[in-house]
Amino acid sequence: MNHRAIRAIYLFEMARTWRTLLQSIVSPVVSTSLYFVVFGAAIGSRISEVEGVSYGTFIVPGLIMLSVLTQSIANASFGIYFPKFTGTIYEILSAPISYVEIVLGYVGAAATKSIILGLIILATAGLFVPLHIHHPIWMLTFLVLTAVTFSLFGFIIGIWADGFEKLQMIPMLVVTPLTFLGGSFYSIDMLPAGWRSVALLNPVVYLISGFRWSFYEIADVSVSVSICMTTAFLLICLAVIWWIFRTGYRLKN
Amino acid sequence: MSSIISVANLSKTYGSGFKALKNVNLDIKRGEIFALLGPNGAGKTTLISIICGIANPSEGTVLVGGENIQTSYRKARSLIGLVPQELHTDAFESVWATVSFSRGLFGKPKNPAHIEKVLKDLSLWDKKDNKIITLSGGMKRRVMIAKALSHEPQILFLDEPTAGVDVELRKGMWEVVRTLQQSGVTIILTTHYIEEAEEMADRIGVINKGEIVLVEDKATLMEKLGKKRLTLHLQGKVTTLPDSLSHYELDLCDGGATLVYDYDTKGERTGITSLLSDLRNAGIRFNDLDTTQSSLEDIFVDLVRTS
């Protein structure tokens, strides 16, 4: 294992985060705070409790997941797309490093950023609403699992994209709608019966449900199903990345 | 001299069906400067890309330092430094950071003293904290070389190293390359500038349409294929040449003021004596003459035209 190469890629990517602090950390925190103000305080005050939890508190796990999902994808996809765009990918491809090491460097950095962001948003949420986390270990497990899985997904998008438009396409047209419809702001029990069945086809439902359970012990689906679905998505992403590197898809001629 | 790179039966066909390399066989000797010449699209960059791991071969094998580039890629790649043709840099990184990053990528422990030496050798030391975006094209090119040298490679690939670089900087680069060779680094350069190959290389390979047309010691190549040119400066202008001179294939230049005769130095007879005799018989007189050796460029153009 070329540990120094993993470290070099990881630190290089993390350095980009600190260099673009406003865009990487501050901007998502500001937008999440706005969600609290709008949905938590303004609209939430008119909504009764959801399964014994005030609405403002109820949306906290969903909001964290919303940011972690979108930022994991954005960080990882941009991380690998940018060297392709500038041409500096030649150095990665010609270095004595394995595909596993490349993925560990890029995805590790993207996931780290998302986890840090998730924890910052959690701390920010604590300023707006009272929080009590019933299962902190599970909360961290879901946070890490989601960050890693969606960073892998972002890495795939970054390799697939051959232009900035494609880089934005899947996050904007697929991931954001799925996240909004995945129960970030409501329990799927609040939906009519037919839509509830449709919602269960949305993989994000399982992530948010499991994460919310770790906070309040309330869930739309069972925790074990949430973990299984997230792990399944993780394995699918790993399989796709394995195929990408085996074939050199969009990386090597 | 032993081979540090051995390319055997290497072919590359792109997805479009274009055959970029056709059964290429090539050995690069340890410690030499090897110049790979070829017109645009000849397959130079494809060959380098395969050896360095950026492109996959369709057929054939490549050994670098005795290690197979596919089955033993870590050992093979760790020996190589690559300076690609295009100026691919991380615009917002500092020179020091990007060169240090390259060293880490190749699995080498931190060595600020080595990075400092590389930057000083390339006259980049005073720019070490500058962002790359602020540097000139020539400096960026040197940053690329510094990155390639950061992990102390035994082999350095320079793909069109002086493309778009002014004459002074080009000569500076030649000095850097010579110094590297003296330190034991094997250098493979591709170039469009024949004078560069003529100035720098120990051996020259010519590639055209994906095939190696020729690999030869530079001096031998010049000697073997070199033609000489005899230029006669005539006393008076001549409009037409008599039939008695037609078999010499002479060229009348400068509006009939000079007569040019190309001859092969390796031929049994150069034909100069009989030409001068026939000129006298035809009443054509000259007041000066000179001879010139054909350049590598002439040789290259001839080879590419006939291959």
* pLDDT tens column, B84-102: 888 788 888 899 999 999 9
| Full pLDDT tens readout for chain A, 253 residues | 888 999 999 999 998 888 777 777 788 788 878 887 887 777 777 777 777 788 888 888 988 998 899 889 988 999 899 888 888 888 999 999 988 899 999 999 999 999 999 998 898 888 888 888 999 999 999 999 999 999 999 999 999 988 888 888 888 888 888 888 888 888 888 788 888 888 888 888 888 899 999 998 888 888 899 899 889 989 999 999 999 888 877 777 6
* Predicted local confidence at residue B225, as pLDDT: 62
The answer to whether A90 and B83 have CB atoms below 8 angstroms apart is no
* Predicted local confidence at residue A25, as pLDDT: 77
CB within 8 Å: A95 and B77: yes
* Predicted local confidence at residue B1, as pLDDT: 61
Nearest to A96 among B15, B78, B103 (CB): B78
What phi, psi does B86 have (nearest 5°)?
A: -85, 155
The answer to which of B53-57, B153-157, B174-178 has the lowest mean pLDDT is B174-178
Nearest CA in chain A to B110: A4
Per CB-CB distance under 8 Å, the chain B contacts of A252 are 54-56
The answer to whether B25 and B114 have CB atoms below 8 angstroms apart is no
For the cut 70, the answer to whether the pLDDT of residue B296 exceeds it is: no
B302 vs B131, higher pLDDT? B131
* Partners of B217 in the β-ladder: B203
Q: Per DSSP, which regions of chain B are E strands?
A: 3-13, 19-29, 33-37, 59-64, 67-68, 80-83, 155-159, 186-191, 203-208, 211-217, 227-234, 251-253, 258-264, 286-293
Whole-number Cα distances in Å, B83 to A60, A174, B70, B247: 50, 40, 21, 50
Per CB-CB distance under 8 Å, the chain B contacts of A97 are 74, 105, 107
In sequence order, what are the residues at sequence separation of 6 or more whose Cβ sits closer than 8 angstroms to the Cβ of residue A95?
A5, B77, B105, B106
A245 burial class (0-12, 13-18, 19+ CB within 10 angstroms)?
middle
In terms of Cα–Cα distance, which of B215, B222, B213 is closest to B297?
Answer: B222
* Predicted local confidence at residue A87, as pLDDT: 86
* Predicted local confidence at residue B248, as pLDDT: 85
Nearest to B90 among A8, A88, A248 (CB): A88
* Tokens 């054939």, located at residue: B60
* Predicted local confidence at residue B199, as pLDDT: 82
Q: How far is B8 from chain A (nearest CA, A)?
A: 20
Q: Over range B77-87, report the average pLDDT.
A: 89
* Predicted local confidence at residue B4, as pLDDT: 94
* Predicted local confidence at residue B233, as pLDDT: 92
Per CB-CB distance under 8 Å, the chain B contacts of A11 are 104
Q: What is this structure's pTM?
A: 0.81
Q: Over range B256-277, report the average pLDDT.
A: 83
Spatial distance between the Cα atoms of B205 and B208, rounded to a whole number of angstroms: 10
CB within 8 Å: B105 and A5: yes
Tens digit of each residue's pLDDT (9 = 90 or more) over B36-62: 988 888 889 899 999 999 988 999 999
- Residue B157 has which token pair? 């690939």
Per CB-CB distance under 8 Å, the chain B contacts of A101 are none
CB within 8 Å: A253 and B56: yes
CB within 8 Å: A97 and B86: no
CB within 8 Å: A96 and B49: no
Predicted confidence band of residue B106 (pLDDT cuts 50, 70, 90): very high
CB within 8 Å: A8 and B147: no
Top-ranked range on mean pLDDT: pick from B13-27, B215-229, B267-281: B13-27
Instruction: Assess A103–B contact: CB distance below 8 Å, yes or no.
Output: no
* Predicted local confidence at residue B16, as pLDDT: 86
Spatial distance between the Cα atoms of B149 and B122, rounded to a whole number of angstroms: 11
Nearest to B106 among A88, A95, A252 (CB): A95
Whole-number Cα distances in Å, A246 to A36, A109, B72, B260: 45, 23, 16, 60
* Predicted local confidence at residue A222, as pLDDT: 87
B179 burial class (0-12, 13-18, 19+ CB within 10 angstroms)?
exposed
Helices (H), chain A: 3-19, 21, 27-35, 55-86, 89-94, 99-128, 136-160, 164-170, 176-180, 193-199, 203-216, 223-247
Q: Over range B8-28, report the average pLDDT.
A: 91
Spatial distance between the Cα atoms of B9 and B210, rounded to a whole number of angstroms: 12
Spatial distance between the Cα atoms of B181 and B156, rounded to a whole number of angstroms: 10
- Residue B237 has which token pair? 């202008």
Handedness of CA A229, A230, A233, A238 (dihedral sign): negative
Residues in chain A: 253
Instruction: Assess A126–B contact: CB distance below 8 Å, yes or no.
Output: no
Per CB-CB distance under 8 Å, the chain B contacts of A253 are 14-15, 46, 49, 54-56
For the cut 70, the answer to whether the pLDDT of residue B224 exceeds it is: no
What secondary structure does DSSP assign to A138-193, as a single string?
A: HHHHHHHHHHHHHHHHHHHHHHH-SSHHHHHHHIIIIIHHHHHTTTSSS-GGGS-H
